[in-house]
Amino acid sequence: MKKIIIAVLLAIVLSIVIGYYIFYVSHSGVRIKVTTTTSLYATGLLEYLTDNFKKTHSGVEIDFIPVGSGEALRRAADGEACMVFVHAPSLEKEYIKKGVLVNGHIFAYNYFVLAGPSNDPAGVRNAHSILEVFQRIYDAGEKGLAKFVSRGDNSGTHVKELSIWSKVGLKPQGRPWYLETGSGMAQTLIVANEERAYVLTDIGTYLKFKIEGKIPNLEILYENDTELLNIYSVYLVSMCSGSEREAALEFLEFVITEGQNLINSYGIDEYGQRLFNPAINDIEWLKKMWEILSTG
**Domain layout of the chain by residue ranges:** 2-110+230-293, 111-223
190 or 269, which is more confident? 190
Using DSSP, state whether 51 is helix, strand or coil: helix
Using DSSP, state whether 43 is helix, strand or coil: coil
pLDDT of 75 over the 70 cut: yes
Using DSSP, state whether 58 is helix, strand or coil: coil
pLDDT of residue 225: 77
pLDDT of residue 25: 42
2 or 245, which is more confident? 245
Long-range contacts of 16-20 (CB under 8 A, 24+ apart): 20/56
Torsion of CA 193, 196, 197, 202, to 10 degrees: 30
Alpha-helical segments (H) within 66-151: 69-77, 89-97, 130-142
pLDDT of residue 273: 87
pLDDT of residue 27: 47
pLDDT of residue 12: 54
pLDDT of residue 167: 96
pLDDT of residue 272: 84
The Cα–Cα gap between 73 and 106 comes to 16
Q: Each residue of 56-73: pLDDT tens digit?
A: 998 999 999 999 999 999
Using DSSP, state whether 101 is helix, strand or coil: strand
Q: Which residues pair with 187 in a beta bridge?
A: none
pLDDT of residue 226: 82
Topology match between the domains 2-110+230-293 and 111-223: yes
The Cα–Cα gap between 238 and 266 comes to 30
What mean pLDDT do residues 25-29 have?
54
CB 38 within 8 A of CB 187: no
**The CATH fold of domain 2-110+230-293:** D-Maltodextrin-Binding Protein; domain 2 (3.40.190)
Contacts of 51 (CB under 8 A, 6+ apart): none
**The CATH fold of domain 111-223:** D-Maltodextrin-Binding Protein; domain 2 (3.40.190)
CB 20 within 8 A of CB 56: yes
pLDDT of residue 132: 97
pLDDT of 22 over the 50 cut: no
Q: For residue 13, what pLDDT band results from cuts at 50, 70 and 90? A: very low
What mean pLDDT do residues 232-247 have?
97
Q: What angle do CA 279, 65, 269 make, to 5 degrees?
A: 45
Q: Each residue of 48-59: pLDDT tens digit?
A: 999 999 999 989
pTM above 0.95, yes or no: no
